Structure 1
Amino acid sequence: MTRTGRVGVGVIGAGVISSEYLDNLTTFPDLEVLFVADIDLERAKAQAAKYGVPASGTVAELLEHPDIEIVVNLTLPANHVDVALAALAAGKNVWTEKPFALDRGSGRRLLDEAKRLGLRVATAPDTFLGAGLQSALRLIA
């Protein structure tokens, strides 16, 4: 299946680091942030409103959204693997804030599940997604 159009993104976790991600994610023309989820629903709603994201709510609601292809996991480190596994189970690719996992076994389990489902999971600091680096790469490409 060849997909056309913008890639739908959902952000789980509306804490401090979410502003860095949303500042950048909302500038990429090929991405469309569709949903912000958090255990604090008011915080999710505020971040969604601030960045022009059309929906906010619970993690379960985000995972049910049919147009979200990539989940950006900005939860607490202790929750990274469980949230990522839930996203994979919902058929979503996952980008998780560091650390990828708190131990090698959990990280291996997450990678194995992504492979089994034919999905992708990755992690890196938010600076990798930064508009400055992306602009520099476009200029030298």
Structure 2
Amino acid sequence: MNAGRLVILCGAGLSMAPPSSLPSAWQVAGMCFDEYQLTIDPLIDPALRDNLEALAEHFVGLDTLKAVFIEHLVPWEEFERPPNRGHAALADFLIAKTVVAGLSSNYDKLIERCAWGGIVKFGVRGLIVAGSQAASFC
């Protein structure tokens, strides 16, 4: 930190803590799978149900990742919950420039919401969100 080279890496565990309590990747995969099986293809391979990466790859293979998976199956409303203290801590580190960057594999934007939520709104340029809006699958 003192050398100005600290990067924080975080994954789904950050957003699973209360009050955020976001679903895990396997839970999101299950929600997407169940909706797809119910409304579009009852014969989809059941082995895909609990594996978000494999499920996304399935839609890549069908050339429907964006049109079906991202735009219709991902339950985006599940990611609209309050940030937790971990999100606030990372936002504080980024605003204070205590860290060079924070890398998140999460779909949510709760770290950014913490940075934007104060009296003074800060842009979080140091934050690299790998999973935001399912960009990691593209």
TM-score interval, normalised by the smaller of the two chains:
under 0.3
Please state which structure has a larger fraction of its residues in strand: 1
User: TM-score normalised to the size of structure 1?
Assistant: 0.27
Q: Of the two, which has the highest radius of gyration? A: 2
More contact order relative to length (CA 8 Å, sep ≥ 6): 2
